[in-house]
Amino acid sequence: MFIDTHVHLNADQYEDDLQEVINRALEANVKKMVVIGFDRITIERAMKLVEEYSFLYAVVGWHPVDAIDCTEEDLKWIEELAEHEKVVGIGEMGLDYHWDKSPKDVQQALFRQQIRLAQKVNLPIIIHNRDATEDVIRILQEEEAHLTGGIMHCYGGSVETAKQCIEMNFMISLGGPVTFKNAKKPKEVATEIPLEYLLIETDAPYLAPHPHRGKRNEPALVTLVAEEIARLKGITVEEVAEATTKNAEKFFDIKEQKM
- Supply the angle between the helices 184-192 and 222-233 in degrees, to the nearest 10: 70
Phi, psi of 149 (to 5 degrees): 75, 180
Say how many CA atoms lie within 13 Å of 71 toward its Cβ: 4
Cα of first residue to Cα of last residue in the chain, in angstroms, is 20
For residues 64 and 111, what is the distance between their CA atoms, to the nearest angstrom?
7
Task: Determine phi and psi for 102, rounding to 5 degrees.
Answer: -110, 125
Cα(40)–Cα(74) distance, rounded to whole angstroms? 8
pLDDT at 133: 98
Question: Under a CB-based contact definition with an 8 Å cutoff, are residues 70 and 101 in contact?
Answer: no
Nearest-angstrom CA–CA distance, 108 and 93: 10
The residues near 52 (Cβ < 8 Å, ≥ 6 apart) are none
pLDDT in tens, the chain (259 residues): 999 999 999 999 999 999 999 999 999 999 999 999 999 999 999 999 999 999 999 999 999 999 999 999 999 999 999 999 999 999 999 999 999 899 999 999 999 999 999 999 999 999 999 999 999 999 999 999 999 999 999 999 999 999 999 999 999 999 999 999 999 999 999 999 999 999 999 999 999 999 999 999 999 999 999 999 999 999 999 999 999 999 999 999 997 654 4
pLDDT (0 to 100) of residue 258:
43
C-alpha 221/C-alpha 4 separation (Å) is 9
